[in-house]
Amino acid sequence: MEPMADDELIYLDNNATTQLDPVVVEEMLPFLTSYYGNPSSGYGFAAKARKAIDLARERLAALLGCEPPEIVFTSGGTESNNTAIASALRFELRGRHVVTSAVEHSAVLHPCQDLAKRGCEVTFLGVDRDGNVDLAELEAAIRPETAIVSVMWANNETGVLFPVEKIAEICREKGVLFHTDAVQAAGKISICLRDTAINFLSLSAHKFHGPKGVGALFVNRRTRFQPLVAGGGQENGRRGGTENVASIVGLGKAAERASQYLSEGKTHVRSMRDRFEKAILETVNGAAVNGAGAARIPNTSSFSFEGIESPAALLLLDRHRICCSAGSACRTGSEEASHVLRAMDPSGDGARRGLRFSFGRFNTDAQVDRALEVVPKVIEKLRQVAAPARGSAVSSVATAR
Ligand SMILES: *Cc1c(COP(=O)(O)O)cnc(C)c1O
């Protein structure tokens, strides 16, 4: 299994970001070249851009099962999350308490930690071994002064799905706003917001084959809203700043493509993931799937492997041109173990031994075959290296490089 220089890149990190769909690029290009008018200008030339934004809004609304005016375009998932939470706290007169989970993405966790430092009370709900939240515990955490509950739809590290529609109902009964970070759910599972009690939903284009730096916040039309970014009257006064026209067009096209794939069941992402997961469990001793007992999105496999450490595994896999991650891309380089896996198993050391493989529709069966050849050998090699002096695998592999 000597790595060859011309080995094809095998990108199995689609929860970190995805390849831009060439059809999306095609749709964006005219708005980077010809149609550069400011959508807010009055002449016909600018109307081209304005109409393209309207179309993107309709396409995204179709993916989400909501009304186009309920969509606010933003710079991505992070801004959408910050906006929803800030809006609830600035507007809600009920008080200053937030309920969230311990396994959220840092784009929810960090704003909540900041709020806690500034005197807002935050409840971080724990999860069980499979990554599930306890709904009775969630309900009990809601207080008279709670302004918002924010719980992700699908976890970026494990793919575990939270029953956000049920949680939204609980919140509605209690008269509390509900936000969901759906960055890993949008485009991967069917969503129909008009049947739900969800007030706010965040998504990001680059997680479903759209461009980076653009996303959206769904704001239910009956939900009071306070902008985070004040400026010109763009986005119907809900998000100031000249629109990122080409990127918004790309987001719309990516949403349309995702809708098609979802409705036609055309994607073989789930079958690739399932085949990979099954084969790894069969061929590698001491491998366990994190969140195996929970409902999960169809593209994610999070493993913990006995006798390895994630950073060394990533180094070796990179030499074979396999891209995957130890959890979230945001912490690469830091030695800190995954907060998600730690929350699922606080007493174990699975969090240091985690590897996440996330598939996308540009992956092929041949790539899955290649990964199934390489991954077991890499794990085996790491265990041999680690056996004499467990814990030193990182440095010995690094020097062998
Ligand atoms: C990637 C991700 C984000 C951040 O989205 P950006 O568009 O990169 O800001 C937020 N939440 C989850 C669950 C994610 O996976």
CA 205–ligand 1 middle distance (angstroms):
10
The residue whose CA has the least distance to atom 4 of ligand 1 is 77
pLDDT at position 102 is 97
186 lines ligand 1 (CB under 6 A): no
CA 74–ligand 1 middle distance (angstroms):
12
105 lines ligand 1 (CB under 6 A): yes
CA distance 165 to 103: 18
- Which residue shows structure tokens 């939903």? 201
Residue 52, pLDDT > 70, answer yes
CA distance 14 to 156: 10
The DSSP 8-state label assigned to residue 95 in this structure reads: -
Cα torsion angle, 310, 313, 319, 322, sign: negative
Those residues whose C-beta lies under 8 Å from the C-beta of residue 21, and which sit 6 or more positions away, are: 209, 210, 253, 254, 257
Q: Please name which of 342, 322, 345, 317 lies closest in space to residue 331, comparing C-alpha atoms.
A: 342
pLDDT at position 314 is 96
- Ligand 1 atom closest to Cα of residue 328: 15
Q: Of 65-79, 104-118, 211-225, 386-400, where does mean pLDDT reach its minimum?
A: 386-400
184 lines ligand 1 (CB under 6 A): yes
pLDDT at position 2 is 54
Please check whether residue 324 is in contact with residue 10, taking contact to mean a CB–CB distance below 8 angstroms.
no
**pLDDT category of residue 400 using cuts at 50, 70 and 90:** very low
10-19+267-400: which CATH number, 2.40.30.200, 3.40.960.10, 3.30.460.80, 3.90.1150.10?
3.90.1150.10
pLDDT at position 393 is 46
pLDDT at position 350 is 84
Q: If you average pLDDT over residues 298-323, what whole number do you get?
A: 96
Tell me, what amino acid is at 163?
Answer: P
Percent of the chain with pLDDT over 70: 92
Residue 180, pLDDT > 60, answer yes
Q: Of 25-34, 206-215, 378-387, where does mean pLDDT reach its minimum?
A: 378-387
What is the reported pTM?
A: 0.94
H helix or E strand, kind and range, residue 401: none
77 lines ligand 1 (CB under 6 A): yes
367 lines ligand 1 (CB under 6 A): no
Q: Name the residues annotated as catalytic.
A: 330
Q: How far is CA 284 from CA 1, 276, 300, 389, in A?
A: 16, 12, 18, 21
pLDDT in tens, 92-129: 555 689 999 999 999 999 999 999 998 899 999 999 99
- β-sheet with 146-150: strand ranges across: 71-74, 215-219, 200-204, 177-181, 146-150, 97-101, 121-125
**pLDDT category of residue 297 using cuts at 50, 70 and 90:** very high
CA 212–ligand 1 middle distance (angstroms):
10
Residue 212, pLDDT > 50, answer yes
183 lines ligand 1 (CB under 6 A): yes
pLDDT in tens, 346-388: 988 888 999 999 999 999 999 999 999 999 999 999 999 877 6
How far is CA 246 from its chain centroid?
A: 22
CA 158–ligand 1 middle distance (angstroms):
14
Q: Hey, which of 17, 74, 183 would you mutate to test ligand 1's pocket, going by the most ligand atoms within 8 Å of its Cβ?
A: 183
CA 183–ligand 1 middle distance (angstroms):
6
Domain residue ranges of the chain, discontinuous segments joined by +: 10-19+267-400, 22-262
Q: Please name which of 35, 100, 38 lies closest in space to residue 232, comparing C-alpha atoms.
A: 38
107 lines ligand 1 (CB under 6 A): yes
CA distance 217 to 179: 10
Residue 75, pLDDT > 80, answer yes
Look at strands 71-74 and 10-11 and give their pairing. unpaired
Q: Please give the sequence-ordered ranges of beta strands (E in DSSP) within 207-261, or none if there are none.
A: 215-219
∠ Cα 142 104 362 (to 5°): 140
Under CATH, which architecture does the 22-262 domain have? 3-Layer(aba) Sandwich (3.40)
- Between residues 267 and 296, which one has the greater pLDDT? 296
Please check whether residue 184 is in contact with residue 159, taking contact to mean a CB–CB distance below 8 angstroms.
yes
Please check whether residue 319 is in contact with residue 8, taking contact to mean a CB–CB distance below 8 angstroms.
no
- Ligand 1 atom closest to Cα of residue 79: 9
215 lines ligand 1 (CB under 6 A): yes
Residue 5, pLDDT > 70, answer no
Q: If you average pLDDT over residues 314-333, what whole number do you get?
A: 82
99 — phi, psi (to 5°)? -115, 130
Q: If you average pLDDT over residues 247-260, what whole number do you get?
A: 98
